[in-house]
């Protein structure tokens, strides 16, 4: 548990340093990172769910990201009243360039592990993320 807490604290520091480097808010960076993992555009409601923000806060976040040129809104083909949000192509380039050196450093750490060990690490990270989301919802009074 101690090492897990140290890892979390170090990653929070890294995330803030990366956000500062990119001159964006750390919440904005987290949203951009989560959007990068999605297979396609998502609704603002889905962004609220992914980030744990209220729908109003998620809308303000998307407004800020759009103004910064990091996301683009697209009409929802299934519902013209809604817009879907996706990373802007230049955002992928900008974030990707900033991630180049850190990504290589993290990859070097992972190269030291066997496939079986990586499977265990991935399983732990997945389960820990599930617990973190569930506890965040509990603390926010949503479950």
What confidence tier does 143 reach under pLDDT thresholds 50, 70, 90? Answer: low
Is pLDDT above 80 for 114? Answer: yes
Question: What's the order of all strands across the beta sheet hosting 79-87?
Answer: 42-43, 79-87, 71-76
Q: Quick check: pTM over 0.75?
A: yes
Other C-beta atoms closer than 10 Å to the C-beta of 84 total 18
Structure tokens at 39: 């297979």
Does residue 57 contact residue 48 with C-beta atoms inside 8 Å? yes
Q: According to the model, what pLDDT value does residue 137 have?
A: 84
Is pLDDT above 90 for 6? Answer: yes
Strands of the chain, DSSP E: 42-43, 71-76, 79-87
Q: According to the model, what pLDDT value does residue 91 have?
A: 87
Q: According to the model, what pLDDT value does residue 58 have?
A: 93
What confidence tier does 141 reach under pLDDT thresholds 50, 70, 90? Answer: confident
Q: According to the model, what pLDDT value does residue 110 have?
A: 96
């Amino acid at each position: 548990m101690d090492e897990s807490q140290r890892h979390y604290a170090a990653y929070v520091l890294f995330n803030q340093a990366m956000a500062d480097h990119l001159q964006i808010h750390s919440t904005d960076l987290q949203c951009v990172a989560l959007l990068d993992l999605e297979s396609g555009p998502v609704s603002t409601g889905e962004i609220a769910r992914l980030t744990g923000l209220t729908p109003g806060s998620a809308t303000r976040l998307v407004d800020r990201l759009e103004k910064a040129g990091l996301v683009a809104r697209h009409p929802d083909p299934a519902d013209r009243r809604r817009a879907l949000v996706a990373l802007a192509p230049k955002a992928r380039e900008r974030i990707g360039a900033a991630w180049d050196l850190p990504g290589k450093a993290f990859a070097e750490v992972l190269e030291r592990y066997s496939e079986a060990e990586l499977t265990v690490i991935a399983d732990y990270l997945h389960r820990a993320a599930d617990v973190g989301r569930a506890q965040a919802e509990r603390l926010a009074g949503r479950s």
